[in-house]
Amino acid sequence: MALVHCNQNYALAARMLHRLSAVIVMLPLRRRQSSGATDKMEFMNSALSFPFPDLPATGTTTAVAQGVAWLRMPLPFALDHINLWLLKDGENFTAVDTGFGSSETMAAWDTILSGKNLVRSIVTHSHPDHLGLAGWLEEKYGAQMWMSQGDYTVAHLINAQIGGYAVPAMLEFFARHGLDSARLAALDKRGNAYKKGVPEIPGSYRRLFDGQIICVGENEWRVMMGYGHAAEHASLYCEKLGVLIAGDMLLPRISTNVAVQPTNPDDDPLQWFLDATAAYRALPDDTLVLPSHGKPFRGINARVTQLHDHHAERCARLIEACATPKHAAELIPVLFDRDIADAHQVMFAIGEAIAHLNHLMHTNRLRRIIADGILRFETI
Ligand SMILES: [Zn+2]
């Protein structure tokens, strides 16, 4: 399906205020590599080129293509930054992603948008560093939000703590996968982390579809939906510019977090992620990839191969470890070369472990055993 939306009327949409509770901040998990894997990673990264070595300082922009500017915003995590993009849109501007809901990000936006008219924000997906300030940008600058329906809906469900999107469902799910009471208690105490990063969500939005063409100024951007990292993640490709705004789907230095959700406990999001990234191989290899974390790069095929090899290697580790049945929690050190205590990281780690285990179950390499309410996996 290819829908063309040009000459939009950017009427300011009505807005709902949400002061709710919530959960899941999904960010890519920084992984420590074993020495062998590190060597491989560095070798593979030499296949990538980084044409913009200098980072834009907070509150400034760097032009990376005709009408495309790069800006970085701070994040209060180990992963300490997110890249956002500002597209020239005729006499106005469109933002791609909005930053984490913090006063620092607001101040940087105010500096960058001084003298500019921001008419739209295109949000790649619902995670707080991407969606966080969409409501504020709409209220203060009149920027209408565009987003996939999947992620818009999930954002509201998490913020409102509905059913399987609420903290108790997450705790129950992780307990079934063997997570110990101390780490469950830490996650429970952490409570609504999502709300901190997404203080408000616009009450209406323009919906994005796979294959949709969005006109931004003189450029056409094609939406490429991807799955496995978020409900319905929108990347944007402009053939004329040779640019892919990849969001979190293709990162140059860290692998994207892929996790099973409590609402879909038997799904195989790792396969979805592998399929979505494989689709990028159809793009020209000299495409400039604009990732949400790290620097813009070229070498799209090499990066996709590297990520696929990475997940295959992690799957091989799990197959070996599951010679005797194991649950996801005890496989975290196998997957990440260390055990993880920090609640924020535990959530990503166990979700990612379950994603690999489900993938191996669906591809008939592991069988799942349920005993005493705990799910374990055993090599076939
Ligand atoms: Zn994300």
Tell me phi and psi for residue 27, to 5 degrees: -125, 155
For the CA atoms of the chain, what is the radius of gyration? 20
What is the structure's pLDDT at 78? 79
What is the structure's pLDDT at 22? 26
What is the structure's pLDDT at 18? 27
Distance 248 CA to ligand 1 centre (A): 5
Distance 26 CA to ligand 1 centre (A): 5
Distance 292 CA to ligand 1 centre (A): 8
CA distance 286 to 300: 7
Contact 15, 200 (CB under 8 A): yes
Distance 307 CA to ligand 1 centre (A): 16
Q: Quick check: helix, strand or coil at residue 367?
A: strand
What is the structure's pLDDT at 77? 82
Q: What is the DSSP letter of 55?
A: P
Distance 258 CA to ligand 1 centre (A): 9
What is the structure's pLDDT at 76? 85
What is the structure's pLDDT at 259? 97
CA distance 273 to 258: 7
CA distance 167 to 184: 10
pLDDT tens per residue across all 380 residues of the chain: 333 334 333 333 322 222 222 223 333 333 333 333 333 444 457 889 999 999 999 999 999 999 999 999 998 887 889 999 999 999 999 999 999 999 999 999 999 999 999 999 999 999 999 999 999 999 999 999 999 999 999 999 999 999 999 999 999 999 999 999 999 999 999 988 899 999 999 999 999 999 999 999 999 999 999 999 999 999 999 999 999 999 999 999 999 999 999 999 999 999 999 999 999 999 999 999 999 999 999 999 999 999 999 999 999 999 999 999 999 999 999 999 988 988 889 999 999 999 999 999 999 999 999 999 999 999 99
What is the structure's pLDDT at 328? 98
What is the structure's pLDDT at 6? 41
Domains of the chain by range and CATH? 4-299 (3.60.15.10)
- Helices 269-279 and 343-362: angle between axes, nearest 10 degrees: 80
Residues with CB under 5 A from ligand 1 (ion): 26, 127, 248
Confidence (pTM):
0.88
In the numeric block, which tokens belong to residue 15? Answer: 């807005």
CA distance 243 to 46: 20
CA distance 255 to 151: 21
- Dmax over CA atoms of the chain, in Å, equals 63
CA distance 138 to 142: 4
Q: What is the DSSP letter of 280?
A: G
